[in-house]
Amino acid sequence: MTRIDAKFADLKARGQKAFVAYVMAGDPDYDTSLEIVRGLPGAGVDVIELGLPFTDPMADGPTIQLAGQRALEGGMTLARTLQLAAAFREGDDTTPIVLMGYYNPIYSMGVDAFLAAAKDAGIDGLIIVDLPPEEDSELCLPANAAGLNFIRLATPTTDDARLPRVVENTSGFVYYVSITGITGAAEADAGDVAPEVARIQKASGLPVIVGFGINTPEKSRAIAEVADGVVVGSAIVSKIGNCDSPGDVLAFVKTLANGAHTTD
């Protein structure tokens, strides 16, 4: 059982939904980023999504693109991202960390070397947005064999014919992208999300976490009512990009987490 599996089992036992926070590793700089990441569990975050900076983030909107650019300009690399995760692990051995990004930096390091380094750093799962199920042998299957959850994205365009292939080797949870398009582009609607979540739960047997278009405590609560949890990324990254202090960022995160945790 991974930390992700243990976390969702614990949340289910307590009748609580998950709150997942995305931050870009190294944004706006390594030290500030580490301070924010270390503060996330205390702000109510159940799972940390740690963004891996990349030069061509095709699925991300301007807010996260700029965060990645700031991190890269500050010297952030895959190796330093894993270093940040390892530093977090020195004080927290229970909060799951999911590394989210693109395949190129992992390919450049080498899959075997990356998986060994990720395990050593305390990474629990991967979301690699540009590796489709047809490429599972490339990273998904080796990651699962190494004890890492490989988390797949499902979208409003993932129809019943495609869904079984998408969830076939997925573990940990399924990330449902609630809107079509890039991050930060529109708002999620609980009425549209609910039947899709039920469909994916039935097909996968896994928790379904909804992301994209969630930016307020009210929206966090509304989506958590119909899913197993919510992910907030762009709204948090925007606070960091506006030079809010780590304390202000974490206070904002806490309001979002409280929304997800106060479902009926």
Active-site positions? 49, 60
Q: Which uninterrupted H or E stretch holds 106?
A: helix 103-109
Cross-strand pairs, 128: 101
The gap between the terminal CA atoms of the chain, to the nearest Å, is: 29
Cross-strand pairs, 47: 20
Residue 111 neighbours by CB under 8 Å, 6+ apart: 138, 139, 142
Alpha-carbon gap, residue 100 to 82, rounded angstroms = 12
The angle, 0 to 180 degrees and rounded to 10, between the axes of the packed helices 78-89 and 30-39 is 40
- Residue corresponding to tokens 């992301």: 211
Pick from 214, 218, 219, 227: nearest CA to 186: 214
Sheet of strand 153-154: strand arrangement: 149-150, 125-128, 97-101, 47-51, 18-24, 229-232, 208-211, 174-177, 153-154
**Coil, helix or strand for 63?**
helix
Alpha-carbon gap, residue 7 to 19, rounded angstroms = 11
CA atoms within 13 A on the CB side of 54: 21
